[in-house]
């Protein structure tokens, strides 16, 4: 989600544009209803040298009520997608799973397994950014909700201008990185 948000903004997100997980948690509880058991989990890779950057975020998530599955990023193949799918399978196997909410734009990893869940009478919602969740938007069985449409997730409206949302008068699309970064690759 962080990478998608950074790409959307064209820069590292400031605090005004960081999602508030307490708002996501309240939305999840409302979605589950007063009598349902809700579980909120975040799956994250921890790159070498980033522990002190990731630690405050992980502690904040845990303080809000989210469980966090953290895994060292030791190679390109050490993503948490398979762990996330295994957890969903575990919960589905327990027979109590009624609705799964996934925050991911990774259609390669999630489209087919999530669509199969729908076949077992489990509702599936993908939350994320419409610019990066094409697989969910295109699916006939997966629901999609843009994170910005959940009350209180962002303190400020995201400065979203894309080819899909151009105003009639046109708009400047900022570069994703400095032109100077071309010199850094030498």
If you ran DSSP here, which 8-state letter would residue 100 be given? E
| Spans of all domains in the chain | 2-185
Alpha carbons 55 and 23: distance in angstroms, whole number = 20
Q: pLDDT per position in the chain (186 positions), as tens?
A: 777 887 777 778 888 888 999 999 999 999 999 999 999 999 999 999 999 999 999 999 999 999 999 999 999 888 999 999 999 999 999 998 999 999 987 888 999 999 999 999 999 999 999 888 899 999 999 999 999 999 999 998 888 877 877 889 998 877 767 788 888 765
Query: Among residues 109, 107, 103, which one has the least CA distance to residue 83?
Result: 109
Query: Among residues 114, 122, 119, which one has the least CA distance to residue 97?
Result: 122
Query: Among residues 143, 128, 95, which one has the least CA distance to residue 5?
Result: 128
* Cβ-contact 103, 75 below 8 angstroms: no
Domain 2-185 sits in CATH 3.40.50.2000: no
Compute and round to an integer the Cα radius of gyration of the chain: 18
Strand, helix or coil for residue 124: strand
């Amino acid at each position: 989600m962080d990478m998608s948000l950074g790409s959307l903004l064209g820069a590292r997100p400031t605090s005004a544009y960081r999602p508030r997980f307490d708002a996501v948690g309240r939305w999840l509880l409302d979605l589950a209803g007063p009598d349902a058991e809700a579980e909120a989990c975040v799956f994250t890779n921890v790159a070498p040298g980033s522990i002190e950057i990731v630690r405050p975020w992980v502690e904040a998530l845990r303080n809000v009520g989210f469980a966090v599955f953290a895994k060292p990023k030791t190679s390109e193949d050490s993503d948490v997608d398979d762990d996330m799918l295994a957890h969903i399978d575990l919960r589905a196997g327990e027979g109590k799973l009624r609705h799964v909410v996934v925050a991911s734009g990774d259609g390669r990893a999630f489209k087919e397994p999530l669509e199969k869940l729908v076949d077992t009478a489990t509702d599936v919602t993908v939350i994320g950014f419409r610019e990066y969740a094409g697989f969910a938007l295109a699916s006939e069985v997966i629901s999609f909700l843009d994170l910005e449409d959940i009350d209180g997730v962002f303190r400020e409206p995201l400065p979203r201008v894309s080819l899909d949302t151009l105003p009639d008068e046109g708009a400047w699309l900022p570069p994703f990185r400095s032109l100077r970064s071309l010199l850094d690759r030498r």
